[in-house]
Amino acid sequence: MESARSGPLAGLLVADFSRILAGPYATMLLADLGAEVIKVESPAGDDTRTWQPPVHDGVATYYLGINRNKRSVVLDFDDADDIELARELARRADIMIENFRPGGLARWGLDYDAVAAINPAVIYASISGFGRTEAGAALPGYDLLVQAISGLMSLTGEPDGPPYRAGISVFDVIAGLHAVVGCLAAVHHRNATGQGQRVEVNLLSSALSGLVNHTSAYVAGGAIPHRMGNGHPSLFPYEPMPCADGDLIVAIGNDRQFAKLCGVLGVPALADDPRFRRNQDRTTRREELRPLLVARLRTRGKLEWFQAMNAVGVPCGPINTVDGGVAFAEEIGLDPVVEVGPADASVRSVRNPITLSRTPPDYRWPPPTLGEHSKEIRAWLRSADEDGGA
């Protein structure tokens, strides 16, 4: 089966037994960097194929967003012959990624021990919701559940309002990124030693790591963080600030930036005021400082302030909708959108965020239709000659 992929991961075969978000996001990033990714789907297909609207040419944009540069093969695990093909794929794979419930693949001989027995060099990555302890394995691994259980929702929303979920499945994405890091670390180890290994990532551990300063506040300082709306527990001003015609995000991270802010607002004396000179002073006295800043901000529109603050290096920004975010990235030259696939059947997709000077990501194939490559992959798996690669 011909491939001719380029990129830093060219030559690596990834058997993708994952679905929904965390696993497919991880395998797409690997595919963008040149790995050959074979997406194994049931006859019903990846659940996200049905997560619509919105759609593009009748296909769920959710699915399209995390499955480019892959090939799809349909394997029915109720069919003994298809199970053998799945095992053969696992035997040939450099990396296998799955996000079944812990232990779920054992019944088909596709768990780590079974795959490692026939492919000792395999890097076998498992993504779960709560790990594979007996208690954790019993829990379904949905991002919303982890947002609630981890404490994220307790941090999101107004202080006197209900907790809220984040606007995206943030821990699925973080877990996917952690899985990629783990796989690449294991690849490096295998290159040095020839040894494969198991890589395990779970959403709850990724969440606790991803909550960074908030979990550190508790485990290192004994403080339990709480909802502050758009405020920051350790910085001020670091939130939306009202201007004459709406809010502007002002993000002051140090005393030097605060002095620049005071200068552009026309109140330079505030930077030397002993009440506000240091960050910890501004943070503890935010209710005193806020009205002094707002009084100046309300004299001009948010766009005027945005331009004036940027001119002197004060971190600030508008609150955009998603279309505005894409437009802003285009405006500053980041080229956030790529066309994937041939011109007559291309799909617009979000650019891989990694820039490599010598081996950049490529965007060769649009997300596959269900079983689009089943015929060629099945034939390749049944062939005795595997030396040609995927």
**Active site (catalytic) residues:** 172
**How far is Cα 303 from Cα 369, in angstroms, rounded to an integer?**
44
CA atoms lying within 13 Å on the CB side of residue 74: 11
Task: Dump the DSSP string for 327-384.
Answer: HHHHHTT---EEEES-GGG-EEEEPPS---SSS------PPPPTTTTHHHHHHHHHSS
> Are β-strands 95-98 and 316-317 bridged in parallel, bridged antiparallel, or unpaired?
unpaired
**How far is Cα 255 from Cα 282, in angstroms, rounded to an integer?**
10
**How far is Cα 171 from Cα 164, in angstroms, rounded to an integer?**
15
3-state secondary structure at position 59: strand
Contact 227, 160 (CB under 8 A): no
Q: Where are the alpha helices (DSSP H) in 162-276?
A: 170-193, 203-210, 213-221, 255-265
**How far is Cα 28 from Cα 10, in angstroms, rounded to an integer?**
14
DSSP element (H, E) containing 296: helix 286-297
H helices, E strands: number in the chain: 16, 13
Question: 292, 248, 254: which is closest to 273 by C-alpha?
Answer: 292
**Is the Cα torsion angle 109, 112, 118, 124 positive or negative in sign?**
positive
Q: Which two tokens stand for residue 311?
A: 């001119």
DSSP bridge partners of 60: 55
**How far is Cα 361 from Cα 8, in angstroms, rounded to an integer?**
8
In eight-state DSSP terms, residue 15 is E
- Tokens 């609630």 locate to 148
- Tokens 């899985």 locate to 179
Residues in CB range of 157: below 8 A, 6 or more apart: 163, 164, 227, 229
